[in-house]
Amino acid sequence: MGEIRNAERTRKKILDAAREEFFSKGFSATRIESIATRANVKKQLLYHYFKGKDDIFEAVMDILYSEHQPIALQTPTNPALLAGHRLKVNIDYRLDFQRFTAWEALEDQPKNPQRETIRKHVLQSYVEDIKAKKEVGLVPEDLDPALLTLAITSLTTYPLVFADATKMITGMSPTDKDFQEKWMAFLTQISEKIFQKSAE
């Protein structure tokens, strides 16, 4: 029993280290050696648990998606609160994961049709949610639900992914609670201006 617990602890330690490496460096720049060093285990031990880097990456991503995927499907009724909600989801989803999505867009990494399906489902659920709100008069008629979803996604992701640009522009880091509160308030403010037309 003790051996099983030790094996589970070691596997978790490797996956935690791999997660940090992948999220900070991207898939291509991450090396098995760096994962082993961060996990404080011998490189050979990684191959006892995983076939290689691709296998570790798949395990990390499977855990991540199982932890966070359901959160994204819940949305507030008031469309003026959508952007704030999405920002909170992105912050809760871990800032480092948001940055990892930038790596994902820029480099070749193992493709997983199941994860892509989950991700597309989550993003399309936002489009469908805005369509439903539009049908009951909560969203202005002249706004395209897909483009509105893209705009909200951009506004709630860019400041988190491009931390350097955020700091250069605002003087604050996206991990700073003060920045998060101010950006949340700003998103609500501009959302109210966009959606007030349909409320009149």
**Is a pLDDT exceeding 70 seen at residue 169?**
yes
pTM of the model: 0.75
d(CA 129, CA 74): 10
What one-character-per-residue DSSP string does 31-74 give? -HHHHHHHHTS-HHHHHHH-SSHHHHHHHHHHHHHHHHGGGGG-
* Res. 181 pLDDT band, cuts 50 70 90: very high
Tokens of 82: 């959508």
In Å, how far are 61, 62, 175 from 98, measured between CA atoms?
13, 16, 12
Cα angle for residues 181, 186, 187 (degrees, 5° grid): 100
Q: What is the pLDDT of residue 117?
A: 80
Q: Are 99 and 163 in contact (CB under 8 A)?
A: yes
Q: What is the pLDDT of residue 161?
A: 86
Q: What is the pLDDT of residue 32?
A: 94
